Amino acid sequence: MRCYVLDANALLAFVEGKPGAPKVRDIFDEARQGRAELFMSAVNYGEAYGVLLRLRGRDKARSLMNALRPIPLSIVDADALIACRASEIKSQYKLYYIDAFAAALAIERKATLVTSDSDFRRLGHGFPILWLKP
């Protein structure tokens, strides 16, 4: 079974219908059909909510996030182990700390990271990434 970790911008691409949304929709369909597992760090989930809050206001942001509930997306708490792994990734690859949570979770779950953030190119070619934009 495939395993994916979503970065905040992957969720935002889907919610806002941006480029990459069809790829994210396909992943969601895979998960609904039981052919994939989906994970997202609570830190990155909160980041996506914060962007929507700033752009759309509280009511619309909540509405958009609530619309995601039928999707089998597991939100993973940021415990001390993940926080330390994120710090190590941040230090080694010069990523933003918040982005390092997505990478740490992908490593922990042996998952493909879904993102459009080019900063993740720093992780190298051996790190499985599904790019939402070329």
- pTM over the 0.85 mark: yes
Q: CA 125 to CA 24: how far, in whole Å?
A: 21
Number of folded domains that form the chain: 1
Q: Which of 92, 124, 127, 96 is nearest to 110 (CA)?
A: 127
Q: CA 9 to CA 46: how far, in whole Å?
A: 12
**Token code pair at residue 17:** 């219908």
Q: Which residue has 């958009």 as its token pair?
A: 64
pLDDT tens string, the chain, 134 residues long: the values are 999 999 999 999 999 999 899 999 999 999 999 999 999 999 999 999 999 999 999 999 999 999 999 999 999 999 999 999 999 999 999 999 999 999 999 999 999 999 999 999 999 888 899 999 86
Q: CA 49 to CA 11: how far, in whole Å?
A: 10
CATH number, domain of 52, equals: 3.40.50.1010
Instruction: Identify the domain containing residue 103 by its residue range.
Output: 2-131
